[in-house]
A and B are shown apart, each in its own frame.
Chain A
């Protein structure tokens, strides 16, 4: 059987983690190709509809990463992101979304090695958990109709 290759989307801020991932490249540190980056100005921009959209479109895992606390280019965006995550994590757990699949991390522009570690560890973890087939069942069955779930 072919090995499961998870689809993982990384939502990162432009100033720290995107630059950190650039440094990973400049330093030629290898990491898994499963993770693809979408750039945001700041983690403060990343609302949870964006994460839901990723799961809805078949993501098996998500990384959200930005500047370390206090280091935000816009002063406070990452604090909003952190607070939102703390609040939203409970809601997600309550609704049955697997929060194990969301990796929240801080990677600075100088942490090329850390970015590779975050990616590789997340890929490893998602490979262990397996594909996120349950998402559509939950979403469809609870939000729309029972038939939708059985058709999956």
Chain B
């Protein structure tokens, strides 16, 4: 006979507003095997947990059901409380009567009845629960940081400075990310390169950091503390040990007309190139798609001129396998391709550019050495229009969110423009100015008041060319929606920040969830902003949502601390909710017939072969055996097993059938 305790939480009014908690406690208290039941305003609070612990001791409970919020929220809390009271934590279950009941149904008898049903299910389930011991697994104290932008750099340095090894993987030939493309940064107008490049060098020189550029993560297996990762190091066609980075090859390469990605197409680069002068590592790669040798089979000028004979045309991609204990995703964002807006004429008119292109124009190391020049004819634009929210907050275009950084960088662009073109007139079309942040509002004020930028509240409907001018048509909604037409020399679109190309594939490779915009999903929007739902994988920077530099850096340090905390243990404890193959006395040994279907479906190679031998050492039966350290408890093997020889703790056949019967028979 069980002695189960039922604890119904009001969650303030979150549950009790629609569910009659007293009634739920009273009715479920009458169930067979329930020894004690009560309701309390906040079960998760200190007095609530104390109440739970005291009830366990006083009533000698052998099972606990807490009816409250989602187990994804507080299951660890209550299991820990049970353990502190001497009850095995796996004899504690939660009924989700908040997210799955009180918040989604109106206040009526049906809602209370549903809550009772949900509690009854767990009471019956917990009767079948077994006391289990946590599984201990070792921790590999090396972190993998995917992405070498400012977030990845910060995370890698923080982890490395805690004394742990870090492996950084960057897709591009150099680390630095979008920040290395920026001219100056709001709200202080720090030169982006000046504050970033020392950190890039620090990464390259740090004894704890191994850097893999021009590389991508291909396979991630394993689990927290014990990931196995395959990294594809794309061939740079170069022996990096021999190359001194002298750059002679890049100046002699005959192929010089390749649009430069770093300059957002505003400049050109050769086929063997270093993305930008401060690149880390400062060694070239050959872009095989555009290299004359790879296209036509002859050229090899770089090989001829190279003083150290470092060029390797036959070099192949290398696969590096590493073992890591934690992964930080810092893959950043992308800017929306502006051809998204045919009405704004991007691509059609050379002088309609996006914000990142303006950054390059304003950058001292950019294609114009920091002079603001029209891409079409190289003239200085005297009238310039900035269009904020180009794509953002536009449900019609499928992007409902605010990209967050555009208001500030548009204000910065207008200010930089005025600093460089004193007699110029900047206009900004905006929907709202969102300048929440330290010194942000003051910065926007400065742009408007001191630099005389004309802010027009309204959207631009169309841009077209007439007599060499770009006619920008919009409306001023603060003037009663009157139509406005500006004859501009240049237009800058503050395009939305979107998830990186390939974000979805990466999420699927590392097994983290992502939202409908393909940004990686955090475990909890408020309380677990840098964790993912997959233990041991953390988020840093704009791969989660559009973020500015300070926010990205803060998130990266947050993720780094989570990794450092994880690495402070030599062993981790894992939930023992794993599969097991039944064992029976000889001569049966097990109902397992050794078909090994389970082995073929197991994604973790956790099924091993066990040979049963007789006293002469002859194999008389081969059985499946689960390696508890590898099993992650998905249960696919259980569903497949023909003889039901394999079962899973926590979701066993018996438990599941009991739940179904309890749910449907009141």
A82–B659 CA distance with the chains assembled, in angstroms: 23
Contact at B521–A110, with CB atoms within 8 Å? yes
- Residue pairs across A and B with Cβ atoms less than 8 A apart, 21 shown, are A7-B664, A14-B72, A18-B70, A22-B72, A22-B73, A30-B105, A30-B106, A33-B111, A36-B121, A36-B663, A37-B96, A40-B635, A42-B636, A45-B635, A57-B660, A71-B508, A73-B511, A74-B603, A74-B632, A76-B603, A76-B636
- Which of B101, B603, B604, B634 has the most chain A CB atoms closer than 10 A to its own CB? B634
Q: Which chain B positions have C-beta within 8 A of A109?
A: 513, 521, 533
User: Which A residues lie within 8 Å of B634 (CB)?
Assistant: 41-42, 44-45, 73-74, 77
Give bound CA distance, A39 to B638, whole Å. 15
Residues of chain A touching chain B, judged by Cβ–Cβ distance below 8 Å, are: 7, 9, 14-16, 18-19, 21-22, 24-26, 28-31, 33, 36-42, 44-47, 49-50, 53-54, 57-59, 67, 70-77, 80, 84, 108-111, 116
Residues of chain B with a CB closer than 8 A to A116's CB: 104
Report how far A7 CA is from B114 CA in the complex, Å. Answer: 11
Residue of B98, B104, B514 with most partner-chain A CB within 10 A: B104
Residue from the set A33, A74, A116 with the largest chain B CB neighbour count within 10 Å: A33
Decide if B636 touches A80 in the complex (CB within 8 Å): yes
A9-B664, A31-B104 known; A22+B639 contact, CB < 8 A: no
* CB-CB contacts below 8 Å: B641-666 with A: 648, 650-651, 653, 656-657, 659-661, 663-665
> Which of B105, B514, B534 sits near A33, CB closer than 8 Å?
B105
Shortest beta-carbon distance, A63 to chain B, in Å? 13
B636 proximity list for chain A (CB < 8 A): 42, 44-45, 74, 76-77, 80
- From B110, which residue of chain A is reached at the shortest CB distance? A33
Nearest B-chain residue to A47, judged by Cβ: B639
Q: Which residue of B lies closest to A14 (CB)?
A: B72
Q: Are B640 and A47 interface neighbours, CB within 8 A?
A: yes
Having A24-B99, A50-B660, A110-B516, one finds 20 other A-B pairs with CB under 8 Å, namely A14-B72, A19-B72, A19-B533, A25-B98, A25-B104, A30-B105, A33-B110, A33-B111, A38-B659, A44-B639, A45-B636, A47-B638, A47-B639, A50-B656, A50-B657, A57-B664, A80-B636, A109-B521, A110-B521, A116-B104
Residue among A7, A16, A19, A41 making CB contact with B635, cutoff 8 Å: A41
User: Is the Cβ of B639 less than 8 Å from the Cβ of A36?
Assistant: no
Measured between beta carbons, the chain B residues less than 8 angstroms from A36 are: 114, 117-118, 121, 663
CB distance from B400 to the nearest CB of A (A): 13
Contacts of B633 in A (CB 8 A): 41
When C-beta atoms are compared, the residue in chain A nearest to B113 turns out to be: A33
Contact with A along B384-405 (1 / 0, CB 8 A): 0000000000000000000000
Give 1 or 0 for each of B495-524: 1 = CB within 8 Å of chain A CB.
000000000000110010111100001000
Chain A CB within 10 Å, residue with most, of B99, B101, B111: B99
Against A, the Cβ 8 Å flags (1 = close, 0 = not) of B448-487 are: 0000000000000000000000000000000000000000
CA of A88 to CA of B513, assembled, Å: 29
Return chain A residues, CB-CB under 8 Å to B111: 33
Closest partner residue, chain B, to A75 (CB atom): B603
Chain A residues in 8 Å Cβ range of B121: 36, 38
Residues on A with C-beta less than 8 A from B516 are 110-111
B114, A33: Cβ atoms under 8 Å?
A: yes
Let me know if B103 is at the binding interface, CB within 8 A: yes
Flag if B601 contacts A76 (CB, 8 Å): yes
The CA of A89 and the CA of B276, in the complex, are separated in Å by: 58
Q: What 8 pairs between A and B have smallest CB-CB spacing?
A: A25-B99, A45-B635, A44-B636, A47-B639, A74-B634, A25-B103, A57-B664, A110-B515
Please report the C-alpha to C-alpha distance between residue A58 and residue B661 in the assembled complex, in whole angstroms. 9
Q: How far is the CA of A28 from the CA of B103 in the complex (A)?
A: 5
Q: Which of B's residues lie within 8 Å of A, judged by CB? A: 70-73, 96, 98-101, 103-106, 110-111, 114, 117-118, 121, 507-508, 511, 513-516, 521, 533-534, 577, 601, 603-604, 632-636, 638-640, 648, 650-651, 653, 656-657, 659-661, 663-665
Q: Report the minimal beta-carbon distance from A14 to chain B, rounded to whole angstroms.
A: 8
Asked if A37 and B100 make an inter-chain contact with CB atoms under 8 angstroms apart, the answer reads yes
Q: Which residues of A contact B521 (CB under 8 A)?
A: 109-110
CB-defined contacts of A7 to chain B, threshold 8 Å: 664
Bound CA span A16–B104, Å = 18
Q: Chain A residue with minimal CB distance to B659?
A: A38
Interfacial chain B residues near A21, Cβ < 8 Å: 99-100
B650 contact set on A, CB distance < 8 A:
41
Within the complex, the shortest CB–CB distance from A25 to chain B, in Å, comes to 3
Question: How many whole Å from B225's CB to the nearest CB in chain A?
Answer: 17
Task: Name the distance in Å between B402's Cβ and chain A's nearest Cβ.
Answer: 18
- Report Cα–Cα, A74/B516, bound state, in Å: 20
A30 to B516 Cα, complex, angstroms: 21
CB-CB under 8 A for A41 and B577, given A80-B639, A109-B513, A110-B515: yes
A21, A39, A111: residue with the most chain B Cβ atoms closer than 10 Å: A39
Report how far A40 CA is from B77 CA in the complex, Å.
Answer: 20
Q: How far is the CB of B182 from chain A (nearest CB, A)?
A: 30
Please measure, in the bound complex, the distance between the C-alpha atom of A42 and the C-alpha atom of B499, giving whole angstroms: 27
Tell me the nearest residue of chain B to A18, going by C-beta. Answer: B72
B residues in contact with A30, CB < 8 Å: 104-106
Check if B513 sits within 8 Å of A108, measured CB to CB. Answer: yes
Q: Which of B577, B639, B651, B661 has the most CB of A within 10 A?
A: B639
In the complex, are the beta carbons of A22 and B99 less than 8 A apart?
yes
Which residues of B lie under 8 Å from residue A18 when comparing CB positions?
70, 72
Nearest CB of chain B from residue A136's CB, rounded to whole Å = 13
Please pick, from A22, A53, A77, the residue contacting B660 in the complex, using a CB distance under 8 A: A53
Residue from B101, B511, B651, B661 in contact with A40 in the complex, judged by beta carbons closer than 8 Å: B651
Query: Is A46 touching B514 in the complex (CB atoms < 8 A)?
Result: no
Which single member of B71, B118, B514, B664 contacts A59 (CB below 8 Å)? B664
Chain A residues closer than 8 Å to B103, beta-carbon distance:
25-26, 28
* CB-based contact A25/B632 at 8 Å: no
* Cα of A36 to Cα of B514 in the assembled complex, Å: 26
Contact of B70 among A22, A44, A72 (CB under 8 A): A22
